[in-house]
Amino acid sequence: MAERTKQTASEVPKSIGGAGQTVKIGVVLAFVLVISVGIVLLANRAVGDKESGVLENLQKRFHLLVQGRTEVIGSFLDNVAHHGDRLIKSDLFRLYATEIDGFDGDLTVLFGAIRSDGQVPEDGESLAEQLPMMENMLREFSTYAGFVNARILNKRGEAYIATDGHLPPMSEEQIKAAQAAIRENGPQYSSLRKTALGMEMDVYVPIYPPDAVGGTDEAPREGAVGALMMTRQVSGKITELLSNSPLAGKGEKTKLMQKAGPGFREVTPWTSEGFLDIASPVKIDENGHLPFAVRPSLSDDARRVYSLGVRIPGPEWWLVQEVDYAEAMRPINDFKRTVYIVAGLGILTAFLVAGLAWWILTGVQSQRIATQFKALAAKIEEQKRFIDSINANIDEFITLKDAGGRFTYVNDAFAEAAGRPKEELIGMDAAAVFGFDTAKRLETIDEVVVREHRKKTISEPIFLRSKRHQFQISKSPYCDADGQCEGVVEVYRDITEFVAAQEKNKRLIKSAMEALGSTIEAADPYLGGHTKLLAGLSVEVARHMRLSEMDIAEIETAANLSQIGKMFVPNEILTKPGKLTPEEMDAMEQHVEYAYRILKDIDIDEAVLKAIYQMNERLDGSGYPKSLKNGEIIMLARILAVLNVFCAMIRPRSYRGAKEPQQALDILAGESAKYDPEAVAALADVIATPAGERLLGGKD
């Protein structure tokens, strides 16, 4: 372009004679120069704004992705630490740890003696005698909770009970972590390490004496007398957490980095070594995070990436999201290429206009002027075809509507989907293309975009040519130079297949739950249809009480799995026609513990597990298995308690007939000290609705 400018400047004087012509040529060249500089400056500014916007959006998306996964990992770590509650809240273990803490002798001598010649110091004889039982309890806990091994340690970080029957030496890091858990009264986590079994980590939780007073997050209780050390195999969980998210873009990867002495290592559980040393320096900011920037990749020092890392609370871990520099810059480079092509065409147009003006100033005949105009028009048409060719190759639908909601531009993809020529669509409104109801919903969003001058993205079902599509629609204001909004730019992305796949997965999960419920009911002839009715009523009552969609899904799952523990109750107790004896009642109530043992290691929500475990509790503390009261029982369990009793009362038993629904409701309402009045009232409203009548009509 610069060479052509020089060539044009050298050729112009040849056709002009005299000083007057030279002045005219100078004016023309100055005009071209000003226009060209302006176009270049505008192009550079547009490219700069685009680059800033793309990188800002990339940083925000990285932060959301990493923050979300960081919370998931934090919840996983908390859950692993809470597994130890079953043991450390045992009064027997707390008392034993307290006695060990008060023992002044050498623990090595104490427990070594009992295993060799049976001689122990007098003040340690009781402790040594209890040791085998405590080891068995610890081993049983470790097996049930899914830990590789576990140990009990005193305040000095010395292990005196281990699941493998002996006390192998502990590393300096393990001792410090155990002492930190005791000193700081909270869980501590070790670094990840690679073993023959896979990736492992240690979790340390403090053990308190039996009379310790519970604390809060702001003021944790003090006085720990020891620590429980639990070793967990986490290869599968780490691999799962590092797998690519559907929200991640092309070339993006999620990585886990941990502190290793003075440096850092990347965690790679799928490799034989398990880790990769990070050669390039890692600079952590004052908040403990890795700021968004261009830097070498964690796994490849020679590869440049944009990356962002967030410190995971607890262990010295960082979750890092990175994308190849070339992939991150691709939309910027594509935009830059397009802008500079358009800028070049603009400068070329300026030269053509200047050439036309020069020919006019030099008095060239009108025919030659007309020829120049024709050439200029051809260039403009070429530019238009170039822009149209770009839009024609975009799969997404692109439209531009004016302030009145009429289409002023549509691309080829939109016209093809609508089944109409582009020329016919220009001037039509959304109602003519999509129908009145759909157009009304879209126009409501248009009003927000125009009024607030901001982009909005929605998901909307739309019928095109009698076929239903699910679109993700991005709407942006189209404004003039003065900031006045002249219309709305729309980009439609078809996500029909993605939404269909999600719905199919939900249906499959629901079918599996219902099938499991039917299998459970086969163990008790009086449970036939109980689970299905319980699940149906739980959904309707939860909706009536305006619970969230997440709560509705959780209570339905809990209802379908609520009877699973009865598979392990003896059949003669389940089907006994008369009243159960106290011993038989104790055996029956064990179904809650059976259900908990089955479900605790399955990847289901904690709220589902709690709802199943607490649904037999009563507000006055008369329920089982923990005799919880009032606020100790979660809302989902309160609802299931009401519905479970209701479903049982309206069905016949070997020792009584079925009650009418209203009779059952009256009984529940009269027991307000036991059953949540709000749930009872909601149930009364639901069974009076068509949905409730339909459920009760099919209860048999």
3-class SS letters over 129-197? HHHHHHHHHHHHHHHHHCCCEEEEECCCCCEEEECCCCCCCCCHHHHHHHHHHHHHCCCEECCCEEECC
- Asked whether residue 409 is assigned to any structural domain, the reply reads yes
C-alpha to C-alpha distance for 335 and 46, rounded to whole angstroms: 9
Burial class (CB in 10 A: 0-12, 13-18, 19+), 548: exposed
C-alpha to C-alpha distance for 616 and 628, rounded to whole angstroms: 10
- Domain-ending residue, one of 353, 377, 411: 353
Nearest by Cα to 132 from 114, 116, 108, 158: 114
Helix (H, G, I), strand (E, B) or coil at 593: helix
- Domain-ending residue, one of 494, 524, 544: 494
Predicted pLDDT at 494: 82
Predicted pLDDT at 116: 46
Q: Which two tokens stand for residue 465?
A: 């040519």
Domain coverage including residue 542: 500-697
- Asked whether residue 384 is assigned to any structural domain, the reply reads no
Banded pLDDT at 348 (limits 50, 70, 90): confident
* One domain, residues 146 and 275: yes
* One domain, residues 180 and 305: yes
| CA distances for 144 relative to 133, 139, 230, 240, 595, angstroms | 17, 9, 12, 23, 14
* One domain, residues 417 and 326: no
Predicted pLDDT at 3: 40
* One domain, residues 292 and 259: yes
Q: Which long-range contacts (CB under 8 A, 24 or more apart) does 88-94 make?
A: 88/205, 88/206, 88/207, 88/208, 88/228, 90/137, 91/210, 92/134, 92/137, 93/134, 93/137, 93/152, 93/207, 94/207, 94/208, 94/209, 94/210, 94/212, 94/225
Flag whether pLDDT at 587 surpasses 70: yes
Nearest by Cα to 606 from 558, 639, 642, 548: 558
Average pLDDT across the chain, whole number: 82
Q: For residue 23, how far is the Cα from the chain centroid?
A: 69
C-alpha to C-alpha distance for 31 and 43, rounded to whole angstroms: 18
Query: Which is more confident, 432 or 700?
Result: 432
- Report the CATH number that the domain containing residue 69 is assigned in CATH: 3.30.450.20
* One domain, residues 62 and 173: yes
C-alpha to C-alpha distance for 145 and 230, rounded to whole angstroms: 10
CA dihedral 279, 280, 283, 289 (to 10 degrees): -70
Q: Which two tokens stand for residue 141?
A: 């806990």
- Asked whether residue 389 is assigned to any structural domain, the reply reads no
Q: Which two tokens stand for residue 233?
A: 């195999």
Write the DSSP symbol of residue 323. Answer: E
Nearest by Cα to 307 from 614, 86, 55: 55
* One domain, residues 41 and 135: yes
Predicted pLDDT at 509: 53
173 in Cβ contact with 201 (< 8 Å) = no
Segment 473-496 shows an average pLDDT of 86
Nearest by Cα to 641 from 652, 656, 657, 629: 629
- Range ranked top by mean pLDDT from 110-114, 358-362, 392-396, 488-492: 488-492
C-alpha to C-alpha distance for 146 and 140, rounded to whole angstroms: 10
* One domain, residues 145 and 236: yes
- Asked whether residue 361 is assigned to any structural domain, the reply reads no
* One domain, residues 485 and 627: no
Predicted pLDDT at 216: 47
Residue 384 one-letter amino acid: K
* One domain, residues 341 and 456: no
Name the phi and psi angles at 356, rounded to 5.
Answer: -65, -45
Helix (H, G, I), strand (E, B) or coil at 521: helix
Flag whether pLDDT at 659 surpasses 80: yes
- Asked whether residue 365 is assigned to any structural domain, the reply reads no
Predicted pLDDT at 4: 40
The tens digit of pLDDT for each residue in 499-537 reads 776 566 556 556 656 666 566 655 555 555 788 899 999
The tens digit of pLDDT for each residue in 273-328 reads 888 888 888 888 898 899 999 999 888 888 899 999 999 988 889 999 898 888 88
* One domain, residues 437 and 517: no
Flag whether pLDDT at 15 surpasses 60: no
101 in Cβ contact with 225 (< 8 Å) = yes
Domain count, the chain: 3
C-alpha to C-alpha distance for 172 and 187, rounded to whole angstroms: 18
Candidate from 18-27, 45-54, 151-160, 232-241 with smallest mean pLDDT: 18-27
Query: Which is more confident, 216 or 573?
Result: 573
Predicted pLDDT at 435: 82
- Asked whether residue 322 is assigned to any structural domain, the reply reads yes
- Asked whether residue 371 is assigned to any structural domain, the reply reads no
- Domain-ending residue, one of 301, 329, 353: 353
- Asked whether residue 49 is assigned to any structural domain, the reply reads yes
- Report the CATH number that the domain containing residue 549 is assigned in CATH: 1.10.3210.10
* One domain, residues 479 and 504: no
Candidate from 51-65, 373-387, 478-492 with smallest mean pLDDT: 373-387
- Number of helices (H) and strands (E) in the chain: give both, helices first: 25, 17
* One domain, residues 306 and 453: no
Predicted pLDDT at 643: 94
